[in-house]
Amino acid sequence: MSVLDEDIEEIRIPAEEIRAKIAELAAQIDLDYADREPLLVGVLKGAAMFMSDLARALQRPSTMEFMAVSSYGSSTTSSGVVRILKDLDRDISGQHVIVVEDIIDSGLTLSWLLRNLRARQPASVEVVALLRKTEAVKVEVPVRYVGFDIPNEFVVGYGLDYAERYRGLPYIGRLRPAVYGG
């Protein structure tokens, strides 16, 4: 039990459910990529936990790269204008890329990222997202693998932060409003 647990009002997705879902997603990816080696592109920082658990759950070879992007605009709504904070370390042309995201909210970050990555001429690009807020999606993005569709509420844990905290919680939960002055 961490002191951060006390700030959580309700656990929305327990650690065990996350583990089981990742095993399912990994099994599907292993099957779909039986004849290709995927290059996992993790989008920092939120996807750090998901990336490391997904990569360990895959039974077939894969490689890893990371990108960090930041959307302009307020901290709670993304504008769709994205800045690269950390780019890939290598050329991805001819590679079978799987973008690994923790959450799709408006879809704006991913939509921009997919355009950016496709311009680098990979052989294919797919997306795996642990969470998707279906009500919040403003732009349709083709997401091949989705862990959980969740309602439009503010959640933290398992990579997701509030003011950079709570990323290390092993589950996904709703913050007590008092924590953010609500």
Active site residues: 105
CA–CA dist 49, 137 (Å, integer): 23
Least distance (Å) between residue 172 CB and ligand PRP: 13
Least distance (Å) between residue 107 CB and ligand PRP: 5
- Exactly one of 13, 71, 171, 173 binds ligand PRP (CB under 6 A); that residue is 71
- C-beta closer to ligand PRP: residue 34 or 163: 163
- 161 is an interface residue for ligand PRP by CB under 6 A: yes
Least distance (Å) between residue 35 CB and ligand PRP: 30
- 147 is an interface residue for ligand PRP by CB under 6 A: no
- 156 is an interface residue for ligand PRP by CB under 6 A: no
| Residues contacting residue 111 through CB under 8 Å, at least 6 positions apart | 80, 139, 141
Phi then psi dihedrals of residue 107, to 5 deg: 90, -5
Pairing relation of β-strands 145-150 and 82-86? unpaired
- Exactly one of 50, 53, 66, 78 binds ligand PRP (CB under 6 A); that residue is 78
Burial of 44 (0-12, 13-18, 19+ CB in 10 A): middle
Least distance (Å) between residue 108 CB and ligand PRP: 4
Pairing relation of β-strands 8-13 and 172-175? antiparallel
- 41 is an interface residue for ligand PRP by CB under 6 A: no
